[in-house]
Amino acid sequence: MTATDHRPAGFENNDQKPLGYGRMLRKEDPRFIRGRGRYVDDVQLPGMLHLAILRSPVAHARIVSIDVSAAQAHPKVKAVVTGADLAEQGLAWMPTLSNDVQAVLATDKVRFQGQEVAFVVAEDRYSARDALELIDVEYDLLDPVIDARTALDPGAPVIRDDLEGKTDNHCFDWETGDEAATEAVFASADVVVSQDIVYPRVHPAPMETCGSVADYDRVEGRLTLWSTTQAPHAHRTLYALVAGLPEHKIRVISPDIGGGFGGKVPIYPGYVCSIVASIVTGKPVKWVEDRAENLTSTGFARDYIMRGEIAATSEGRILAIRTNVLADHGAFNGVAAPTKYPAGFFGVFTGSYDIEAAYCKMTAVFTNKAPGGVAYACSFRITEAVYLVERIVDCLAYELEMDPVELRMKNFIQPDQFPYTTKTGWVYDSGDYEPTMREALRLAGYDELRAEQAERRARGELMGIGVAFFTEAVGAGPRKDMDILGLGMADGCELRVHPTGKAVVRLSVQSQGQGHETTFAQIVAEEIGIPPDDIEVVHGDTDQTPFGLGTYGSRSTPVSGAAAAMVARKVRDKARIIASGMLEVSVADLDWTKGSFHVKGDPSKSVTIQEIAFRAHGAGDLPEGIEGGLEAQICYNPSNLTYPHGAYICVVDIDPGTAHVKVRRFIAVDDCGTRINPMIIEGQVHGGLTDGVGMALMEMIAFDEDGNCLGGSLMDYLIPTALEVPDWETGFTVTPSPHHPIGAKGVGESATVGSPPAIVNAVVDALKPYGIRHADMPLTPSRVWDAMRGVPTPPI
Amino acid sequence: MTATDHRPAGFENNDQKPLGYGRMLRKEDPRFIRGRGRYVDDVQLPGMLHLAILRSPVAHARIVSIDVSAAQAHPKVKAVVTGADLAEQGLAWMPTLSNDVQAVLATDKVRFQGQEVAFVVAEDRYSARDALELIDVEYDLLDPVIDARTALDPGAPVIRDDLEGKTDNHCFDWETGDEAATEAVFASADVVVSQDIVYPRVHPAPMETCGSVADYDRVEGRLTLWSTTQAPHAHRTLYALVAGLPEHKIRVISPDIGGGFGGKVPIYPGYVCSIVASIVTGKPVKWVEDRAENLTSTGFARDYIMRGEIAATSEGRILAIRTNVLADHGAFNGVAAPTKYPAGFFGVFTGSYDIEAAYCKMTAVFTNKAPGGVAYACSFRITEAVYLVERIVDCLAYELEMDPVELRMKNFIQPDQFPYTTKTGWVYDSGDYEPTMREALRLAGYDELRAEQAERRARGELMGIGVAFFTEAVGAGPRKDMDILGLGMADGCELRVHPTGKAVVRLSVQSQGQGHETTFAQIVAEEIGIPPDDIEVVHGDTDQTPFGLGTYGSRSTPVSGAAAAMVARKVRDKARIIASGMLEVSVADLDWTKGSFHVKGDPSKSVTIQEIAFRAHGAGDLPEGIEGGLEAQICYNPSNLTYPHGAYICVVDIDPGTAHVKVRRFIAVDDCGTRINPMIIEGQVHGGLTDGVGMALMEMIAFDEDGNCLGGSLMDYLIPTALEVPDWETGFTVTPSPHHPIGAKGVGESATVGSPPAIVNAVVDALKPYGIRHADMPLTPSRVWDAMRGVPTPPI
C-alpha cells in the first residue's frame, strides 16, 4: 500500500470527477468560509423568547431563600423558574451519563461557583440578563473543598449530602491489572522510577459556547430541540427516559457546531432549562451561554493527580508499570467518568510497550468545583494515560541516561505480536511501531538535532528535544465499559440512491467541524462509484438519521465510517443483481469498475450505477424477487476498537532570561490506518497539536482557596493562537485496522493525546542542565522559572 | 369476518390504549381544529419575496411584444421575468406528465385564457400584484377553438403550432377491446341502445389553492421547495430531470395540504416560476394562487363527449358494450391523460357486468382552454367510465321497462368468477356484488320507495330513485399503462422503533387531508402491537421519506398501506428473534399476543415489544448475527390493482314549478375490503358523495365562444354546501383483496365515482313521466326545466 493513494484497483480516477479517497476540498467549507454556517444561535423562530441562567457566586453554600418577585415584575419577563418550581415536577435533578445525578437548578445547596440556581425567560436576551440581577438569593456559606488531596480528610465538609447515606467525598474506586504480580516484578527489578505527575484541569474552549433552542408544540405534544450536542440520539433517548417526553415526539437537531472536543457530550442543565421554559411559556426559547459561563460551568477535563512507577532492567528493558490516580470530578460525576471506570485510561496506560505486568488504581473524589470528567479529546481518559506513560518512560531514560528514542524502540510491541493483548486485557488490533518512529526521526533529522543540542548546550542555550510515542484506543465500540448510555455502541447508517443516481447517506454520528460531509461522501463514493459531490451527507438530526451514540472518542470513522462502507457494499451488491438483469448475464459474469458493471471480457456491455438507479426506481423490469429502489441500511457494531498510533518529536528553545518556551519545530507522524482524506487528517492533527501546545504550556483552570474559578475569560484562560505554534511537520505510515472494512482507524484525538508529552519531554530535556526530571503542566514562564530555581509547583 | 372489527385474534384490545383498527379519532385533527395546521401559505422565511403571475386575458393570440420596464421601475419590485428570459436558459417549456410540453411562460402565443405570460417578484404580495398591471403586452388575436366537436374541422386554427409538423388539433387516439367481435354481438342482439352523454369540465376546487415557497441556497446549491403537490418525490425527480438541478440537492416538502383530489398532481408553471425566482433573486420566494387563478388555470377534469352503446337480449342479459369518446384536453396535454391512454377508463367501462364483448375508442383534441386531464378523484378516468356504463345500463332498463336493480343483478359478475378478467384484459381481484346491492336495497327500503314513488307519481309529484353500481380499479400499481412518471409504481416505507419502544413510520405517499397520520399508525399498530398514539407518521418531505409516486388514484392504502403492514411484519420477525434470545427459547416456541412474545404454554414468560426495542438498541446482548436497532424498510410493488365496489341508491324530489332537484336520501354501501378506520372511511365517502352532488347538479366550467372562462369564482362555479346535501346513509360489506397483506382496497374516490350516476339516474327516473331517457349534467334547475320541455342542452 503506498502512502498517498489507497484507492482499490479501478478507483484511481474518473473521467469527470474525483472518486473516493484523496485530498478533496471540504464540501462544507464554502458555507463556513462565507459565513453561511447555521449554528444554534442562528436559529430564529417567530415569537422566540430568551433564557438566562442565574448562577451561584460561591462554591459551597446552603440556599436560605430565593426572592424572584422583582424579576417577575420586569415588564419583559415571561417566567422565572427556581429549583423549587422544578422539584414540584420531579425535575430538579437529572441523571448524568455517569451513574450520578446533577441538580438542574440547585434546591438545597450550591456546590460549585457557577452552579445553576434559577432562570429567567424574557422577550429578549438583554432583559433576561437584566432580570437576573433582580433575583435575591440568600446564601449561608459553607467551607468549600477545593484541593482533591484534602477531599477525603476526616472532617472535610460533605459536598454530596443529597446522596443517601453519604458521609464523605468519595466518588469511586476502580483498579485494573494484577497488583501482586506487578509488585513482584517491581520488587526484583534493577531499576524503579517513581514520579508524581499532575494533569491539570483544562477546558476544550470551543469557538461556539453551548446553547439550545427548544420549541414545544402544545397541540402536537412535540418538542424540537436545536442543541449544541455531540450526541443527538443519545440525548433524545435520555430526555425520553428522564423527563417522560415520548421519544417519537422529540426531535433533536445538532446544526453546525463550532467545536465539541468532548465538551458537548453531556446534558447540561441549560438544555433542560430551555425545554422546561418552552413547555411553560408555549413559545420557542433560546439559551446560549456566554464565554464566562462556558469557561466556568461546562466542559472540564483532566484534573488528575497521578503517581507513575516504572520497573526496568538496567539495560532499559521495561518490566512493569504501576499507576495511582486521584481524580477530581468536581461536585457531580459528569460524563466520561464513565459508568464503570475511566476505561480508556485502563486500556492504554501501559503505552506501546511489551511488558510483563501492570496495575492501576484510581480513586475519584467530589470537590466544590464544576463537574469535571468531560472526555476532552481523550477517548475516555486516554490523554492522561498517554501523558503519564510517556512522561515516566522519559523519567526512566533520564535515570538510565539513555536516549529516549532508544529506550522506546527497545520496548515496542513487535509487529508479529498483533493483535496484542495488554496486561489489562485490551486487544490492540494492529500496529508496526518502529517504522513510524523511524519516519519521525527521519523527518526531524533526529541525530542532527541531538548534535545541534549538544553544541547549543555547550554554549549555555536551553534547547530541548522531546519524543513521545502513543497508542490510542478509539472508536469506542464493543466494550461495555465504554458504554456511557448503557445502550451499546452500535451505529446506524443508511444509503439511498435517488432515481437520477445521486445519493444521500444518513449518519448517526455528526460533525462539530470534522468534515463528515466530505469524508463520508468519499467513503461511499469509493464503494459505489458515485462522485462525492453527488452524495449528500445528512447528520445531526434525529428525525433524519438512524440511531447511534454520537461523535466522541474519535469514533466517527472507526464505527460510522465502517457502517458507511458496508452499507455502500450492500447497495452495490443489489446494484449488481439489477445490472445482471439489464445486461442479461449472470451476476458472476460482471466486473465492477469506476462506478459501472460490465460483462467480463466485454467492457462495451456495461451499465453505470446511475443507469442502475433509474432502473431500480421503476424504469424497467427488475430481476425476479428484487425490490424496487436502491438503498440499504445497517446497524454496525464493531468487533473491537481501533488502535491508531503515532510518533511525535518536539523541539523547543527556552529563553534563560524569561523562561519562555518556544516550540521551534514539531514533527508528527501518525498512523491511523487507511487515509480517506489526507487534507482533513492533517487538519485534525494540526488542531490537536495546537491543543497540545495549549495544555503543555498555557492552559489551566485554576481556583482560589474559596473556590472562585480564576479562568472565566479568554484573557485569563489562555489558549494558543497562530503566534504560539510552529509550522507543523506531519508524516504518516499506514497500518490498516484488520477488522474495519476499509482499514481506517480514526485520528480526531491523536494529536491532542500525543503532543503534550512530546512538548513536556522537550521542555524537561531542555532543562536537563538544571537536573530536572519532571515539571508539571502548564509550563508557563513562571512555572519554568520556578522549576529552574527548584520552587515547587502549587497544588491547584 | 365480522363487519365491525377485523382485528386478528389477540388484537381486540389493550389495557391502556387502543391498538390497531377501529374508530380512532384522527391524530391530525387537534391541530386542524385549533387552526394550527401548517400550509404552504403559513411558511414564513426571513427575507422572503412574493411572486405574482401575469396571465393572458384572451384564449388565443400571438404575442407581439411585452414591455416590462414600468414594472421593473416599481420601487418594491425585485425581478420581472418573461418567457423570453426563460428561453435563454432553455426553461421556457417544461414537460407535462403526459408526453407533452407546456409553456412555463408563453413565448410565441397564448393558448388559453389564464395562461402564464410573465411574473413579478416583489417585497410583498400587494406590490407584486400591483406591478402586474404595469406590464404592457401587445396581443395579435387569433380565432379560438372552444368546442371540441369542431377542433378537427378542416380549417380550424392549429393551436399547437409549437409542435413540429403539427397541422391539426389532434392530441391522441387510443382504443381497447375487440372491435369486430363487439360489432358481431351488436349486429345480432335483440336490443341495442345508444346514448350520447357528456361529462362536463369540472374543477376539484380544493379549499387551499396551489402554491409554493422556493428557497434556493446559492452557497450549498440546495433548493428547498414547499409545495402543494400530491407527489413530492415524483416532482423532485422531474425537477432534477428537467431543470438539471441535482436531485440530492432538492428537497420537496408538502406540508399540510388543503385538499388535492388529483388537482395537485401536475407540475404547474407557478411552481417552476417560484424556483426560477428564488435562483434569480437569491431569496426565498412565495407564490400562492388566488381563487380565480385556481379556478381558471389549474386542475381541470372530465370534459368528455361520449357515445355509449349497449347490446342485450330482450330478457335483459347484457351482451356487449361499446363506447366512443371525444376528450377535450385543452391547450396542453396535462397529467392523467396519461402517457399511453386513459387507462382507468379502459379498465372499468364495462362496469360490474359479465359480458361477451367490449370495445372503446377514444380521441383527444386540443382546444383553447386551460389544460384538462387532471385525474380529479377518478383514478385515471374511472369516474367518466362508471358514469357512462351506469347511465347506459339505466337507458337499457328504460327501453326494456325493467327495474334497474333487477337488470344489474341479472348481469353481475358472480363471486366464483373472481379473479375476473374483463374483455379488455383487466383483472378484477375480488368482489361479491349481490350482497352489496342487497345491503343497499335493505338500507334504502327499496320496495317501499318504489311503492311511494308510484303513489306520488300518481299525484303528479316528481320523485326519482336512482341506482348505481360501480367497480373501481384503484391503487395504480403494477400496470405500466398507469405509470405517469415512467418510473414504476412501487412505494417505499420505513418503520423504525426507538429505544423506548415508540416508533416512526415514514411514507412515500402523503396526505391532503385523508388522515394518513391516523390510518398508517393503526396499520402498523395492528401488526407490531405498539399503540397508534406511540407511532409517529412522517410524510410529505422527500428528505425524510423513501421514494414513491405519491397520493392519487386511491393508492395510499392499496400500495403504501400494504407496504406499511409488510414492513411492520419484517420488524416483528426481527423482534421475535431478539425475544427468543431474551427468553432463551427457540423462535418456534414463541407466541405473539397484544404486542408481546411469550413462551408457548407459559404466558408468564414474556417480553413486550418495548422491552425488545430497548434490548435491540444495545441494552444487552443480541442473538448471534443480529444487527442492532429495530427497524426495516421495504419497496413494495403490488402484483395487481385493487377493485373496490359499491351500490348507491339516491332518492330525489323535483319541484315541477322550479325544476329544482332536491336530494332527499342517499344510501351508499361501499366494499373496500378490510376497513382500518371506519370513521375515516365514512368521512371519505361523505366527501365523495358531496362531490357527486356538485357534479350531478351544480358544477360546470363553461366558456363563452371567445374562450372566456365563465367559472372564475365560487359565485359562478357553484359547489355544494351543507344545504345541498342530505344526511348520508352509509353501509358496507367486506370483500378483502386477496393480494393485499391486510386485504384493504382503498376508498378515497369511490363515492366521487359512484354518486353522479346514482343522482342522474334518480333525476331521469323522476322525469320518466316526461319520456326522458337521459339528461346531461349538471342538472341545474334551468337544464332540468329545459329537459322537461325538450329543449336541447347547449354544447359547452
**pLDDT tens track for A249-279:** 999 999 999 999 989 988 999 999 999 999 9
The answer to whether the Cβ–Cβ distance between B248 and A503 falls below 8 Å is yes
CB contact under 8 A, B546 and A486: no
**Interchain contact, A627 vs B634, CB within 8 Å:** yes
B488 to chain A: closest CA residue:
A618
A–B interface: beta-carbon pairs under 8 A: 154
| Chain A residues close to B492, C-beta within 8 Å | 628-629, 631
The conformation of residue A72, written as its DSSP 8-state character, comes to H
Cβ neighbours of B637 in A, within 8 Å? 627-628
Q: Name which of A30, A617, A631 is nearest B487 (Cβ-Cβ).
A: A617
**Closest to B633 (Cβ–Cβ): which among A483, A485, A633?**
A633
Quick one: pLDDT at residue A2? 34
A573 vs chain B: nearest CA distance in angstroms?
17
Q: Is the ipTM of this complex over 0.85?
A: yes
Of the candidates A240, A490, A628, the beta carbon closest to that of B628 is on A490
Amino acid at B317: R
**At B525, phi and psi to the nearest 5?**
-55, -45
- Chain A residues with CB under 8 Å of B220 CB are 30-31, 36
Closest-CA distance, A532 to chain B, in angstroms, reads: 11
Residue B52: beta bridge partners?
B120
Residue B201 phi/psi, 5-degree rounding, is: -65, 125
pLDDT at B485 (0 to 100): 66
Residues of A in contact with B547 (CB under 8 A): 496, 498-499, 617, 629
Chain B residues touching A544 at Cβ < 8 A: 543-544
The parts of chain A modelled with pLDDT lower than 50 are 1-18, 337-339
Between chains, do A617 and B504 touch, taking CB under 8 Å as contact? no
CB contact under 8 A, B500 and A240: yes
The DSSP symbol for B316 reads S
| CB spacing of A490 vs B629 below 8 angstroms | yes
User: Which pLDDT tens digit goes with each residue over A299-358?
Assistant: 888 999 999 999 999 999 999 999 999 999 999 987 654 445 577 899 999 999 999 999
Q: d(Cα A538, Cα A164) in Å, to the nearest integer?
A: 45
The pLDDT tens digits of the residues spanning B475-487 come to: 876 666 666 666 6
A618–B536 CB contact, under 8 Å: no
What is the nearest CA distance from B615 to chain A, expressed in angstroms?
Answer: 8
* Nearest chain A alpha carbon to B497: A248
Tell me which residue in A246, A490, A614 faces B618 most closely, judged by beta carbons. A490
Q: Any idea what DSSP says for residue A474?
A: B
d(CA B474, CA B556): 10
| Of A247, A502, A627, Cβ closest to residue B247 | A502
What are residue A223's DSSP bridge partners? A216, A250
B496 CB neighbours in chain A (<8 A) are 546-547
Contacts of B534 in chain A (CB under 8 A): 246, 248
Q: How far apart are the first and last CA of chain A?
A: 49
Please answer yes or no on whether B535 and A500 come within 8 Å at the CB atom: no
pLDDT at B712: 87
Q: Is B791 exposed, middle or buried (0-12, 13-18, 19+ CB in 10 A)?
A: exposed
Q: Which of B36, B483, B503 sits opposite A248 (nearest CB)?
A: B503
Tell me the chain A residues in contact with residue B566 when contact means C-beta distances shorter than 8 Å: none
Distance CA A730, CA A752 (A): 14
Q: What is the mean pLDDT of chain A?
A: 93
Contact B327, B344 (CB under 8 A): no
- From residue B260, give the alpha-carbon distance in Å to each of A108, B121, B229, B249: 58, 26, 8, 26
Nearest residue to B520 via CA among B534, B541, B535: B535
- Contact between chains at B536 and A504 (C-beta distance less than 8 A): no
Which residue do the cell numbers 538544571 mark?
A770
- How many Cα atoms within 13 Å fall on the side-chain side of residue B564? 36
Cis peptide before A795 (omega within 30 of 0): no
Asked if A547 lies within 8 A of B504 by C-beta distance, the reply is no
Cell of A576: 449488481
State how far residue B82 is from chain A, nearest Cα, in angstroms: 30
| Residue B703 DSSP label | B
B31, B44, B498 ranked by CB distance to A247: nearest: B498
Chain B residues touching residue A538 (CB < 8 angstroms): 543
Sign for the CA dihedral angle at B200, B206, B209, B210 comes to negative
Alpha-helical segments (H) within A282-377: 291-297, 343-348
Cβ contact, residue pair A248, B534, below 8 Å: yes
Please report residues of B whose CB lies closer than 8 A to that of A241. Answer: 500
Please give the pLDDT value at position B2.
34
Which of chain A's residues have a Cβ under 8 Å away from the Cβ of B29? Answer: none
Distance from the Cα of A247 to chain B's closest Cα (Å) equals 6
String of DSSP letters for B439-477: HHHHHHTHHHHHHHHHHHHHTT-EEEEEEEEEE--BS--
Q: Are B422 and B347 in contact (CB under 8 A)?
A: yes
Which pLDDT tens digit goes with each residue over B458-476? 999 999 999 999 999 998 7
Stretches in chain B below the pLDDT threshold 50: 1-18, 337-339
Q: Which residues of B touch A496 (CB under 8 A)?
A: 546-547
Give the closest-approach CA distance of B506 to chain A in angstroms.
10
- The structure's pTM equals 0.93
Residue B577, helix vs strand vs coil: helix
B217 contacts on A by Cβ (under 8 Å): 36
Question: Do B498 and A631 count as a contact with CB atoms less than 8 A apart?
Answer: no
Query: What residue has cell string 469557538?
Result: A207
B contacts of A485 (beta carbons < 8 Å) = 618
Cβ separation A635–B618 shorter than 8 A:
no
Question: Cα-flanking dihedrals φ and ψ of residue B69, to 5°?
Answer: -60, -40
By CA distance, what is A241's nearest residue in B?
Answer: B500
- Closest partner residue to B543 among A241, A246, A544, by Cβ? A544
* A487 closest CB neighbour out of B490, B535, B617: B617
- Per-residue pLDDT, A601: 93
Closest chain B residue to A218, measured at CA: B31
Nearest-Cα residue of chain B relative to residue A36? B219
The answer to whether the CB atoms of B546 and A631 lie below 8 A apart is yes
**DSSP-assigned states of every residue in A533-579:** GGEEEE-SBTTTS-----S-TT-IIIIIIHHHHHHHHHHHHHHHHHH
CB B650 within 8 A of CB B680: no
Across the interface, which of A488, A502, A631 has its CB nearest the CB of B618? A488
**CB–CB contact A30 B489 (8 Å):** no
Pick A248's closest partner by Cβ from B217, B219, B498: B498
